[in-house]
Amino acid sequence: MRTTDGQTSPDNSMRASFHTLGCRLNQAETASISATFVNRGYRIVDYGADTDVCVINTCSVTEGAEAKCRQAVRAVLRRSPNAYVVVTGCYAQVGKEALQGIDGLDLIVGTAHKMQVVDLIDAPQKEDAPRVVHTTKIARDDFSLDVIGNYSDHTRANLKIQDGCNFACAFCIIPFSRGGARSRKFPDILREARGLVARGHREIVLTGVNLGTYSGDGYDLLQVIQALEDVDGLDRIRISSIEPTTIPEALVDWMGTSSKLCPYLHVPMQSGDDDVLQRMKRRYTRADFASFIERVAERVPHVCLGTDAMVGFPGEDEAAFANTRLLLADLPLAYCHVFSYSGRPHTYAQRYMDPVPPAAMQARSRILRELSARKKAAFYRGFMGRTVRVLFERLENSGSYIGFSDNYLKVGVKASEDLSNRMALVRLHDVSGGLAIGEMVSSTG
């Protein structure tokens, strides 16, 4: 069995599986936790297979995310009634009281101890009641991770470089579930990046709660990216979700000329109405956001720009929603992830006493999702007849190899040769079923 440093460990009869709820940052952390189990000699099995230990890394951004965690615990126990079940992540930090009431749950691990999960299990034997390892105090020091994330089935790998947030948006529970902003030590970023590339990963996605605030060992986010571009064998670097007010002009300029930094930004908008933005305690106006998106579109060739929008924030009336819809329609955005407001304990928004009816939230969500689908289809159609560089990931049941272009077009190609984890130039000619369909022009290896 391979360990995270490339060595072999003796086979262990104990099996561990992992399930991630929520964001890319959670995925990165699950990969790191999984690596600690590999190093301890566990055999990693797919989530859903019979297992001895199951670690569920949770999200608490909405009530729905918390409900999925509880469902996941029960699902594991139905399949593996003797499994030792661990819940960690954001819900374990802010919802431990609710979790303690779930029959069959064995261990609840808060944010501060997340990376020590394997050390907390002497022997995976069922507990009479959930054991809780938790502290409300989350250190704000810069951090390191001692492993290389376990992404054995992925061409792309997520690389955590930042955690926590100081912005305190009115709707957001993250400052309570993850603590204040802190950055990963710069040399440790390079160490894991090199290790991931050595394992065959050709694309790295930088992740964090508030990526643009990275500040470790005197480096900012752009300097991290520039250093990663010098890592031999790393073909692409992608930035995950990033706050608009944290992106410097120099980063936009670099994206416009770099051969490795993908022309892609996911920049949360949340609302297109100034009054709602102010109540949300966001740090920009409607005009600020529009100006930023338009500048990036002008300066970065073929850029894919995505966003988030929240419907139903307290006080959002029909006029405010119309402002959001119109702004999304007018801006050069390729897609929008749509979320309904979910009240979170401890947040400032809990003070607002003007909720939006659920039926209105559902109707507004539907309108924005339909708008997003139209914009995404139009963005894809704009590349018909063009040649794009694609990093292929897998062969699907349809017989097509699936991969993503630099600017995050999902591309499908029929091929007799194995294209997994290979880069190729593809000429696009059709859009079907959410895929840009093309044919190989040449393989770049």
Q: Give me the CATH number covering residue 164.
A: 3.30.750.210
Statement to judge: residues 203 and 223 lie in one domain: yes
Residue 179 pLDDT > 90 = yes
Same-domain status, 336 and 414: no
**Structural domain span for residue 24:** 15-133
Question: Is pLDDT of 418 > 70?
Answer: yes
Residue 421, C-beta contacts closer than 8 angstroms, at least 6 positions apart: 155, 200, 202, 391, 392, 393
How many Cβ atoms from other residues are within 10 Å of residue 207's Cβ? 23
Q: What average pLDDT does the structure give for the chain?
A: 94
429 lies in a domain? yes
Asked whether residue 3 is assigned to any structural domain, the reply reads no
Instruction: Tell me whether residue 302 is in a domain.
Output: yes
Q: How crowded is the C-beta side of 86, counted as CA atoms within 13 Å?
A: 33
* Beta strands in 272-334, from DSSP E residues, in sequence order: 304-311
Same domain, 50 and 88: yes
The answer, yes or no, to whether residue 4 has pLDDT greater than 70, is no
Q: With a cut of 60, say whether residue 121 has pLDDT above it.
A: yes
> Is 312 contained in some domain?
yes
* Total Cβ atoms within 10 A of residue 119: 11
Same domain for 371 and 393, yes or no, is no
Q: Are residues 272 and 182 in the same domain?
A: no
What pLDDT shows up at residue 8?
A: 38
* pLDDT in the model for residue 156: 93
Over residues 13-26, mean pLDDT: 94
Query: Is position 322 within any domain?
Result: yes
Q: C-alpha distances in angstroms, 340 versus 22, 266, 365?
A: 15, 18, 7
Residues 109 and 151 in one domain: no
Kindly report whether the global pTM for this prediction surpasses the value 0.85.
yes
Tell me, what CATH number does 129's domain have? Answer: 3.40.50.12160
Question: Does the pLDDT value for residue 167 go beyond 50?
Answer: yes
Residues 370 and 272 in one domain: yes
* Total tally of structural domains belonging to the chain: 4
Pairs from 412-418 (Cβ < 8 Å, separation ≥ 24): 412/436, 412/437, 412/438, 413/437, 413/438, 413/439, 413/440, 414/439, 415/440
Q: Is 394 helix (H, G, I), strand (E, B) or coil?
A: strand
Same domain, 325 and 427: no
Average pLDDT over residues 211-237: 97
Least confident of 1-15, 28-42, 111-125: 1-15
Domain edge (last residue) among 133, 168, 191: 133
Tokens of residue 300, six digits: 């970065």
* Same domain? 152 vs 189: yes
Residues 6+ apart with CB under 8 A from 178: 90, 93, 111, 138, 163, 164, 165, 209
Q: Do 319 and 357 lie in a common domain?
A: yes
Q: Is residue 254 part of a domain?
A: no
- 257: in domain: no
- Same domain (yes/no): 224, 324: no
Of the pLDDT bands very low, low, confident and very high (cuts 50, 70, 90), residue 12 is low
The yes-or-no verdict on residue 9 having pLDDT over 50 is: no
pLDDT in tens, 262-294: 999 999 999 999 999 999 999 999 999 999 999
**CATH number where 288 lies:** 3.30.750.200
Q: Which of 112, 133, 154 lies at the terminal end of a domain, its last residue?
A: 133
pLDDT band of residue 45 (cuts 50, 70, 90) is very high
The CATH number that applies at residue 411 is 2.40.50.140
The answer to whether position 9 is within a domain reads no
For residue 370, is pLDDT > 60? Answer: yes
279, 364: one domain? yes
Please identify, among 133, 153, 180, the residue that sits at the C-terminal boundary of a domain: 133
